[in-house]
Amino acid sequence: MELHNFRCCDPSFEEKCRNKDDGLPTFSSEEQDEVEDAVKKQFLNFKHRLEVDTECILPILNREDHIAFLKKGLVHLSSSYECLDASRPWLCYWILHALELLDEPVNDETISQVAQFLGKCQCKDGGFAGGPGQYAHLAPTYAAVNALCILGTEEAFRVIDRETLYDFLMRMRTSHGSFKMHEGGEEDIRGAYCAASVARLTNIITSKLFDGTPEWIVRCQTYEGGFAGCPGMEAHGGYSFCGIAALTLLNKTNLCDIKNLLRWTVNRQMKYEGGFQGRTNKLVDGCYSFWQGGAFPLIHMVLTMQDDVALSAENWLFHQKALQEYILVCCQFPGGGLIDKPGRVRDYYHTSYCLSGLSVAQHFAGGKLSHIYNIGHENNMLRSTHPVYNVCVDKVVHADLYFRQLEHPSQKSEDMKDQS
């Protein structure tokens, strides 16, 4: 059988996008029309090739273009993105994580600049804000901690003030164990996940901080099987990931109905496109490759811990080939960056989560099972992401070793008791 490499994008349109040197995800309306046509054409072209060649085509990940797009964003970080002015730690995290997945190093000067910039987003009373001088919020706190762990230098680790971070988390906690996103803000399952993730990663977790949290999280699991933002709301992939990842971090996955979660999640993979939808009766979107796809390694880990479920390497939980095809064929934007679906323009959020989903589909690992599976060109392989934090595994191990040797907040209160 002869195998053909398949570059999904139209070369002339690719060149045009590559030369857009502002790095910003903005296109005029004429350009948007052109984008829509070009990417639809590439999808139809792929489907046609599939009919002719059946299994013989190898879609290519356009690594160099994605890296160039990501690096442009890193340079612009401190000056642009007025539209994402309250999400600057998120931009750092999305870009740094996508680059680590692509195994692309960042130079020492940039590492130091980004660490210092994130330091400016940290608030005096603890936690990180969406930008310097803004109020602390749990979402940018999660993004900043992940970004600093990806940077992975002593300077980056030292930016995190663990004492005030603990105070901030305590202030966001409600009496029933849920977490508000910010002072006076909404409480939802993202809060529980962001709090558990940063507390675990920086080694400041205490039983007092998460008393009642697992019980509150399972109240968000709906009759469909996925998790909602709050009890009584609709199941959604973004919230489902937060639910199962937070329960994993808190060692309480036994409290949820894992088989119902599995049934709901597998049914979110779309038969025609191969990608995932976020919720029942909605459209496929590349970012759910991670929010839904990332739940499988966690579900698998729970299932293998239960004796009555026999899972083997042949017993895959989702269609890893179809997901890789959707990401490689439909979600690569010509000239760099990844997207929600054909017709949309690139952004750093979709670039990061499409690549995270591709990594999960390539390195399926959960419990005792792990295998590598690449449907395309050999150069498509990404590094493996940790399914709980969505940071590459080596960086999680490194951060864990660093923070584990520091004093724990419960140790401090013991010391205070001894002194009194």
Ligand X SMILES: CC(C)=CCC/C(C)=C/CC/C(C)=C/COP(=O)(O)OP(=O)(O)O
Q: Hunting for tokens 């809060």 — which residue is that?
A: 191
Nearer to ligand X, 193 or 296 (CB): 193
Closest CB to ligand X: residue number: 238
Residue 162, binding choice from ligand X, Zn ion, none, Cβ under 5 to 8 Å by partner class:
none
Count of all residues that appear for the chain in the document: 420
Q: Which run of H or E residues covers position 325?
A: helix 320-325
CA 278 to CA 80: how far, in whole Å? 30
Q: In angstroms, what is the minimal distance from the CB of 90 to ligand X?
A: 9
Which range touches ligand X (CB under 6 A), out of 50-58, 147-155, 166-174, 186-194?
A: 186-194
286 in contact with ligand X (CB under 6 A): no
8 A C-beta contact, residue 96 and residue 114: yes
285: contact with ligand X by CB under 6 A:
yes
Alpha-carbon dihedral 398, 400, 404, 405, rounded to 10 degrees: 10
- Residue 278 binds ligand X, judged by CB under 6 A: yes
The verdict on 282 binding ligand X (CB under 6 A) reads: yes
Applying CB under 5 A, the residues found at the interface with Zn ion are: 285, 287, 340
- Cα distance between residue 197 and residue 66, in whole Å: 28
What element of type H or E holds 370?
Answer: strand 369-372
Q: Residue 62 or 359: which CB sits closer to ligand X? A: 359
Under the binding rule (CB under 6 A), the answer on residue 371 touching ligand X is no
Which of ligand X, Zn ion, none is residue 340 near (CB under 5 to 8 Å by kind)?
Zn ion
Neighbours of 308 (CB within 10 A): 5
Q: Nearer to ligand X by C-beta: 103 or 186?
A: 186
Interaction of residue 395 with ligand X, rule CB under 6 A? no
Residue 193 touches which member of Zn ion, ligand X, none, C-beta under 5-8 Å by kind: ligand X
User: From the CB of 154, what's the least distance to ligand X, in Å?
Assistant: 27
d(CA 347, CA 354): 11
When CB distances are held under 5 to 8 angstroms depending on the partner's kind, the choice from ligand X, Zn ion, none that residue 210 binds is: none
> Binding ligand X by CB under 6 A: which of 13, 193, 210, 318?
193
What is residue 25's three-state secondary structure?
A: coil
DSSP characters over 169-213:
HHHHB-TTS-BBSSTT--B-HHHHHHHHHHHHHTT---TTTTTTH
Q: Which of 111, 139, 147, 172 binds ligand X (CB under 6 A)?
A: 139
Least distance CB 341 / Zn ion (angstroms): 8
Name which of residues 4 to 23 contact ligand X (CB under 6 A): none
β-pairing, 369-372 with 363-366? Answer: antiparallel
Q: Tell me which residues are annotated as active site.
A: 236, 279, 282, 285, 287-288, 340, 347, 350
d(CA 344, CA 33): 10
Q: Give the 3-state DSSP-derived string for 211-262, with helices as H, strands as E and coil as C.
A: CCHHHHHHCCECCCCCECCCCCCCCCHHHHHHHHHHHHHCCCHHHCCHHHHH
- Bridge partner list, 227: 221
User: From the CB of 130, what's the least distance to ligand X, in Å?
Assistant: 12
- State the nearest-atom distance from the C-beta of 288 to Zn ion, in Å: 7
Site string for ligand X, 235-264 (x = CB under 6 A): -x-xx--x----------------------
Binding residues (CB under 6 A) for ligand X: these are 139, 142, 190, 193-194, 236, 238-239, 242, 278-279, 282, 285, 291
